[in-house]
Amino acid sequence: MSSPYQVIARKWRPQTFDDVVGQDHVVRTLRNAINRQRIAHAYLFVGPRGTGKTSTARIFAKALNCTNGPNADFDVNDPACKAIAEGSHLDVIEIDGASNNGVDQVRDLRETVRYAPAQGKFKVYIIDEVHMLSAAAFNALLKTLEEPPAHVKFVFATTDPQKVLPTIVSRCQRFDLKPIPNDLIVERLRKIAVEEKIKVSAAALDCIARLADGGMRDAQSIFDQMISFCGSEITEPDVLDVYGLVAGETIAALAGALAAGDHQKIVAIVDECDAAGRDLVRLLVDLQALVRGALLDAIAQGGSSERLGGVAMTTEQITRLLDGLREGEGAVKLGLAEKINFEVTLLKAVEASRSRAIDSLIKELAALADESGPADEKKKG
């Protein structure tokens, strides 16, 4: 009997610290804590979805409860590690904070905490989406979290740390997991494609990484869907069609038209994208990313950049352009006439980039006055 199909996000979930992508600062700290026997009683993993919070928590639990552990370089084939990966280990308890958010569930947890581990050295409680716990549940957890038994470790994961009580945060070591850079996502997907015998173009991988917004799980889910759609060969046009993305060349052309103030070209490109069924909200986000790149380039170059279509723009002009695009984001997302709102946003951003700031004009006039002042005094003399 063939083994059941597993989606790529589950099949390629990180199993060791070496598998974790883009979170080197977290991995290094946890490794050092284990190797130096400086293991805290509570950890809080914070970060956007799909960046490895729960996966890292499971790997940490493996390192603590592996045979002859704690050991950061454990064997993935160790029976204890396999049991944790499969969710059958008695001493690694995963709790969903969203569905177990009441004070009664936390009181039950407090009762079980006192009992010694059944299989490993530690009882590890992994509470996902911990910010969903009620205030009463948080308060019921406080005392246990402050002085837990030596055999108990807590690992909390959340996408919304502002909702976690400060009294809980202060009792934990906090780790902020960052959105994963696109190049690392592409590298990981390329490795998966080789193993899965999927032929995928570099441009298609770039599109998938762009769509994922720094989330490895999102990238793997998108890749999985594209395999279902395309079969064993994935190209850029396939990804663009399925997700309504706009090609990188078109985004660059639109950014160039904005920099040049070419209203006709702006409207023509928007018409073309809308007729092809492209996602205009996503196009605005990608456009902002491109303009931001030009802004950083202008700062690095000392105040000017030609990255937007070869048109020289000052830091102030690019900042105003980016601000105009950002201001119109709400109208494009929530407004009834998406295309009209998008066009108006682009045209307003162009006008904003071409206007001059009052304070900069005052500075220039003051500088001119300073220069002409001595000359006028000489004439009088």
Nearest to 144 by CA among 109, 117, 103, 96: 109
CA dist 256 and 306 (Å) reads: 10
Cβ atoms 319, 295 nearer than 8 A: yes
- Indicate if the pLDDT at residue 381 is higher than 70: no
Q: What is the pLDDT of residues 45-57, one digit of tens each?
A: 999 999 999 999 9
Phi/psi region, residue 310 (left: phi>0; alpha: psi -120 to 50; beta: rest), is: left
Q: What is the pLDDT of residues 57-80, one digit of tens each?
A: 999 999 999 988 789 999 999 999
Nearest to 127 by CA among 45, 211, 243: 45
Cβ atoms 177, 52 nearer than 8 A: yes
Band (358; pLDDT cuts 50, 70, 90)? low
User: Which stretch of 22-36, 186-200, 343-357 has the lowest confidence by average pLDDT?
Assistant: 343-357
Tell which wins on pLDDT, 107 or 44.
44
User: Which stretch of 142-146, 158-162, 184-188 has the lowest confidence by average pLDDT?
Assistant: 142-146
Residue type for 273, please?
A: C
What is the per-residue pLDDT for 190?
95
User: Which stretch of 130-139, 176-185, 314-323, 345-354 has the lowest confidence by average pLDDT?
Assistant: 130-139
For the chain, helix (H) and strand (E) counts, in that order, are 18, 9
What is the per-residue pLDDT for 378?
53
- CA angle (85 as vertex; 84, 86 as ends), nearest 5: 90
Tell me 52's DSSP state.
S
Q: What is the pLDDT of residues 215-225, one digit of tens each?
A: 999 999 999 99
- Indicate if the pLDDT at residue 135 is higher than 90: no
Percent of the chain with pLDDT over 70: 95
Band (115; pLDDT cuts 50, 70, 90)? confident
CATH 1.10.8.60 corresponds to the domain 182-243: yes
- Indicate if the pLDDT at residue 268 is higher than 90: yes
Q: Mean pLDDT in the chain?
A: 89
Q: Phi first, then psi: what are they for 201, rounded to 5°?
A: -75, 155
Domain boundaries, the chain: 8-176, 182-243, 248-358
What is the per-residue pLDDT for 206?
92
- Indicate if the pLDDT at residue 108 is higher than 70: yes
* Second-level CATH architecture of 248-358: Up-down Bundle (1.20)
- Indicate if the pLDDT at residue 375 is higher than 70: no
Burial 219-248 (b: 16+ CB within 10 A, else e): bbbbbbbbbeebeeebbbebbbebbbbbbb
Percent of the chain with pLDDT over 90: 60
Tell which wins on pLDDT, 262 or 114.
262
SS3 116: coil
Task: Please give the model's pTM, rounded to 2 decimal places.
Answer: 0.82
CATH 3.40.50.620 corresponds to the domain 8-176: no
Tell me whether strands 313-314 and 304-305 are parallel, antiparallel or unpaired.
antiparallel
Q: Phi first, then psi: what are they for 175, rounded to 5°?
A: -125, 125
- Indicate if the pLDDT at residue 379 is higher than 60: no
- Indicate if the pLDDT at residue 1 is higher than 80: no
What is the per-residue pLDDT for 15?
92
